Amino acid sequence: MTQANAFPTTILRPPTHFAPDVFYIPEIHNPAHGTYFPEMNLHDTTKATIVADIATAQHEDVNRVIAFDVEAGTSWDASKEIASLVLDQVINEHGRVPAWCVDFLEEQLGVGFVRQCEREAA
């Protein structure tokens, strides 16, 4: 017969990556491949990650960004919100709007507004 351990045993689970509360998914338009939503890891669908990915050309040819709140069961076009954040980031980093995101920013925020921000940054 064996004796039972006098101390309780705790089993630690490895940390897991939690999904964000709201998912942001870019819609990409590529002339060679058409329009599609890229395959992404859940932890790469946060607002901050999508903004950084567009601002650094990880996602090029973005048409729009769709946000999904799974818990609330809602979705919406978050393109203007994301474009505004991308514009702030690229103007701060480059002083101008790079070619890879100019079409997205001008479509969502307006050509005049984007050009005005570039002139003010110069």
Query: What is the Cα–Cα distance from 86 to 101, expressed in whole angstroms?
Result: 9
Q: How much is the pLDDT for 10?
A: 54
User: Is the entire prediction scored with pTM above 0.85?
Assistant: no
Q: How much is the pLDDT for 52?
A: 96
Q: How much is the pLDDT for 3?
A: 53
> Across the chain, how many H-helices and E-strands are there?
4, 4
Type of residue at 88 = D
Type of residue at 81 = E
| Residue 76 half-sphere exposure toward CB, CA atoms < 13 A | 8
| Residue 118 half-sphere exposure toward CB, CA atoms < 13 A | 15
Q: Which residues of the chain have pLDDT under 50?
A: 1
46 CB burial (10 A radius; 0-12, 13-18, 19+): middle
Q: How much is the pLDDT for 12?
A: 53
